[in-house]
Amino acid sequence: MVMILPPVTMEPYHRFQVDLQQNHRNKHDVDRLLASIQKNGILQAVGAVCDPETGFLIPVWGYRRVLCAIRLELDEVPTRVFPGSLAPGERARLNLIENVQRQDLKPSEEARAYRALIDAEDLTAAQLAEALAVSEGKVSKKLALLKLIEPLLKLIDDSVLPETSGRELAKLDAEAQAELADQFAGVGRVSRTEANQAVQERLGRKRSRTSPRIAVRFGDVSVGIPAADTTLDDLASMLTELLKRAKKAQGEGLDLRQFAGQLRHMGAAR
Q: Are residues 150 and 177 in the same domain?
A: yes
Could you tell me which residues come within 8 angstroms of residue 136 by beta carbon, excluding any fewer than 6 positions away? Answer: 125, 126, 129
Give the separation between CA 257 and CA 263, rounded to whole angstroms: 10
Q: Which residues pair with 49 in a beta bridge?
A: 58, 82
pLDDT tens digit string along 76-114? 999 999 877 766 566 666 666 666 666 667 899 889 988
Does the pLDDT of residue 151 top 90, yes or no? yes
What is the per-residue pLDDT for 1? 46
Q: Are residues 188 and 239 in the same domain?
A: no
Number of domains composing the chain: 3
Q: Are residues 88 and 177 in the same domain?
A: no
Residues of the domain holding 146: 105-208
Q: Are residues 230 and 187 in the same domain?
A: no
Specify if 99 maps to a domain. Answer: no
For the chain, the average pLDDT equals: 81
Q: pLDDT higher for 69 or 2?
A: 69
Specify if 70 maps to a domain. Answer: yes
**By the 8 A CB rule, do 170 and 203 touch?**
no
Specify if 85 maps to a domain. Answer: yes
| Domain end marker among 188, 208, 228 | 208
Q: Are residues 112 and 201 in the same domain?
A: yes
Q: pLDDT higher for 159 or 60?
A: 159
Q: Are residues 23 and 72 in the same domain?
A: yes
| Domain end marker among 68, 93, 118 | 93
Cα distances (Å, whole numbers) of residue 70 to 16, 38, 54, 140, 190: 8, 12, 18, 40, 45
pLDDT tens digit string along 9-45? 999 999 998 876 655 555 667 787 888 898 888 988 8
What is the per-residue pLDDT for 222? 72
What is the per-residue pLDDT for 185? 86
Instruction: Grade residue 237 by pLDDT with cuts at 50, 70 and 90.
Output: confident
CATH assignment of the domain containing 109: 1.10.10.2830
CATH assignment of the domain containing 22: 3.90.1530.10
In 86-131, the DSSP E strands lie at: none
Q: Are residues 46 and 109 in the same domain?
A: no
Instruction: Grade residue 227 by pLDDT with cuts at 50, 70 and 90.
Output: low
Does the pLDDT of residue 133 top 80, yes or no? no
Q: Are residues 109 and 204 in the same domain?
A: yes
**By the 8 A CB rule, do 57 and 50 touch?**
yes
Specify if 60 maps to a domain. Answer: yes
| Domain end marker among 208, 223, 250 | 208
Q: pLDDT higher for 236 or 91?
A: 236
Q: Are residues 193 and 119 in the same domain?
A: yes
Specify if 118 maps to a domain. Answer: yes
